[in-house]
């Protein structure tokens, strides 16, 4: 059992209980036989794990001595502001739940994420040491593969695929490479300096997904979701900038601020008649073109 999964069990158990004594934590630990093997969680081990949890996730576990020596998460805000931390906790928490229910394997359906394991570790290691890598990559539009020396800036998951954002040294510009189209990676001995003003989250903040085009103007776009889909928009926002600006029994209007590129229109089309663009007109007109082209395919 991966050690990190044990750390995440501790974090989630304390979070779910608010505050908990070590005795109660140990009882829950022993009850999870698949994880604990039925063994106790000694105080010395728990204290050591607290230090590791702080180092890995930046999560501080404190003890309220006045409240009966109960442990709690002192800085839960890091789980709200730290996307990677939250993603790890959710992912490993789900993995823990699924691993305890392997007898239901034929009744639990998941989605495949292509090629996340083959090259992701090498890319992350290169990012950590700011090392140039040579990648052999074949895009969907080309029959021949190309080899490029690149400086790996960040990785991003979008629509079940992992992407690498890297500066292509020969072309001297940032390009996106889908990991499932990478055929080989070579770690070089050359290093690079990541620009001090580069922020991965800021870089993608004005876009829906991974299609980047700064020629597309940044706009406020109002979307109207019907009386059923408005609930989905609330629970799974399209974009971090999304806010609800109008609500009725029959619909809700949401505003997003972004540059509407290809993948944004594809997402809107996937909603069918559940979503309507209210403004601006140029986005409405562009979406109408996509819809008309789709109708033309079927001679409608």
Domain ranges of the chain: 3-106, 120-204, 219-297
d(CA 195, CA 94): 36
pLDDT of residue 80: 64
E strand or H helix at 20, and its extent?
A: strand 20-21
Residues of the chain with pLDDT under 70: 1-2, 80-102, 104-105, 109-111, 113-117, 300
Q: Confirm if 57 and 85 have CB atoms less than 8 A apart.
A: yes
Structure tokens at 221: 């776009």
Is the preceding omega at residue 280 within 30 degrees of 0, hence cis?
A: yes
Backbone angles phi, psi at 282, to 5 degrees: -65, -35
pTM above 0.85, yes or no: no
Structure tokens at 237: 């926002």
Q: Right CATH number for 120-204 from 2.30.30, 1.20.120, 2.115.10, 1.10.3470?
A: 2.30.30
Looking at the DSSP bridge assignments, the partners of residue 219 are: 258
CA-to-CA dists, residue 70 to 12, 114, 263, 267, angstroms: 15, 43, 48, 46
pLDDT of residue 2: 67
**Residues 6+ away with beta carbon under 8 Å from 171:** none
pLDDT of residue 273: 92
């Amino acid at each position: 059992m991966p050690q990190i999964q044990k750390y995440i069990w501790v974090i989630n158990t304390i979070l779910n209980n608010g505050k908990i004594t070590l005795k109660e934590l140990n009882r829950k630990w022993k009850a999870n036989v698949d994880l604990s093997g039925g063994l106790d969680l000694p105080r010395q081990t728990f204290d050591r794990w607290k230090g590791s949890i702080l180092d890995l996730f930046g999560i501080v576990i404190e003890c309220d001595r006045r409240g009966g020596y109960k442990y709690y998460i002192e800085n839960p805000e890091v789980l709200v502001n730290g996307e990677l931390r939250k993603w790890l906790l959710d992912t490993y928490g789900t993995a823990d739940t699924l691993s305890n229910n392997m007898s239901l394997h034929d009744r639990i359906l998941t989605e495949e994420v292509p090629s996340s394991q083959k090259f992701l570790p090498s890319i992350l290691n290169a990012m950590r040491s700011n090392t140039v890598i040579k990648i052999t990559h074949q895009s969907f539009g080309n029959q021949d593969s190309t080899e490029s020396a690149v400086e790996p800036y960040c990785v991003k998951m979008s629509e079940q695929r992992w992407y690498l954002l890297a500066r292509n040294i020969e072309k001297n510009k940032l390009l996106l490479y889908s990991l499932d189209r990478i055929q080989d990676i070579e770690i070089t001995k050359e290093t690079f300096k990541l620009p001090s003003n580069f922020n991965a989250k800021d870089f993608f903040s004005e876009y829906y997904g991974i299609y980047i085009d700064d020629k597309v103007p940044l706009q406020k776009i109002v979307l109207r979701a019907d009386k059923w889909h408005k609930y989905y928009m609330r629970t799974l926002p399209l974009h971090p900038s999304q806010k609800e600006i109008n609500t009725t029994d029959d619909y809700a209007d949401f505003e997003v601020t972004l540059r509407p590129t290809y993948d944004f229109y594809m997402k809107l089309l996937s909603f069918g008649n559940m979503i309507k663009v209210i403004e601006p007109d140029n986005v409405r007109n562009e979406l109408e073109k996509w819809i008309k082209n789709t109708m033309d395919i079927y001679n409608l």
